[in-house]
Amino acid sequence: MLWITRFSGFFSAAMAVIVLSPSLQSFPPAAAIRSSHLDAYLRPTPPSDRSLLSSFRKSPVFRNADECVSSGAESGICSPSLVHVAITLDVEYLRGSIAAVNSILQHSMCPESVFFHFIVSETNLESLVRSTFPELKFNVYYFAPETVRGLISSSVRQALEQPLNYARNYLADLLEPCVNRVIYLDSDLVVVDDIAKLWKTGLGSRIIGAPEYCHANFTKYFTGGFWSDERFSGTFRGRNPCYFNTGVMVIDLKKWRRAGYTRRIEKWMEIQKTERIYELGSLPPFLLVFAGHVAPISHRWNQHGLGGDNVRGSCRDLHPGPVSLLHWSGSGKPWLRLDSKRPCPLDALWTPYDLYRHSH
């Protein structure tokens, strides 16, 4: 059953500040700079991207329900009542990111209390976000591709090799130090439930929470050479590792910073460059560090795989059970299949959140 609850209204205005952290070190609030100062660090928007800026319709605005706790505009991003959501923005997946934000706002009982953290690498997309969601609370953060480019290995799909896919590894450094928890979401999904329910997930002593899939064949995520070498496979000794999808995670940033998990992930990426221990992009390093140490979250929060596999992108059905989040992981993206006039049946569930002008 697909649970969908809609809440309407207006969203209170909040000034969006661009935060630049090319060195990927934690920074004080005073380091925040206006978007005009960021332009020098970003490549000029090419003509095709400029046309994209006017390609999205303005979203309806939404207001908190009466029972919502005020986020306290004067306390800003550090307000304890805020729900923090991080999403990457790039031109290729922009249509998906905009739909994801739209879906979160539509189904949130307290949309004024949702603060978005948009991670970008190349294009200044702040003006598009502001024109599409005029009163959205958000910051934009620059993630320098060279930070991770030298650590990326070839993958089964070229899209998985893009540096921005690895920005999730650096959220603890990019986001303000007062942000102690964040929900990370991929750009190819829609939320059909109140995001605050996911936010309230208890992590216990764990660093991250995610839906786990312990019946999946965990061995396939690593090469035969990995499993035959005790130096590598021994990392799972004493653990009960299960597959989890890194496109939906609740992350305790305070614990992450304290224990230096970014560096732990980087070390496995360095090993991969010389030993070739996996084939699938940014996922395996997360499995190596966290699998077996994940706070389990209900599967309803990641109905993943709707984009098919990483080669054919074939159509998939929903898994049994209630659904709070639909995720088109895999090579098939709903906006591309819809535009090609060859949509999968479930792509119709993504369409209501699409704000792209040329799609209607």
User: How far apart are the two ends of the chain, measured CA to CA in Å?
Assistant: 27
Give the pLDDT confidence of 246-260 residue by residue, as tens digits: 999 999 999 999 999
Which one has a higher pLDDT value, 14 or 275? Answer: 275
Mean pLDDT of 51-74: 81
Domains, the chain, ranges and CATH?
A: 78-353 (3.90.550.10)
pLDDT band at 93 (very low <50, low <70, confident <90, very high): very high
Q: Which residue has the tokens 């739209």?
A: 102
Sign of the torsion formed by the C-alpha atoms of 350, 351, 355 and 357: positive
pLDDT band at 312 (very low <50, low <70, confident <90, very high): low
Lowest mean pLDDT among 52-56, 244-248, 346-350: 52-56
Residue 279 pLDDT: 86
Question: What is the chain's mean pLDDT, rounded?
Answer: 84
Lowest mean pLDDT among 8-12, 26-30, 288-292: 26-30
Give the pLDDT confidence of 284-295 residue by residue, as tens digits: 999 999 999 999
pLDDT of 330 over the 80 cut: yes
Give the pLDDT confidence of 136-164 residue by residue, as tens digits: 999 999 999 999 988 987 755 565 678 99
For the entire predicted model, the pTM comes to 0.84
Give residues with Cβ within 8 angstroms of 239, minimum separation 6: 291, 292, 293
Give the pLDDT confidence of 162-216 residue by residue, as tens digits: 899 999 999 999 999 999 999 999 999 999 999 999 999 999 999 999 999 999 9
Residue 152 pLDDT: 86
pLDDT of 334 over the 80 cut: yes
pLDDT of 75 over the 80 cut: no
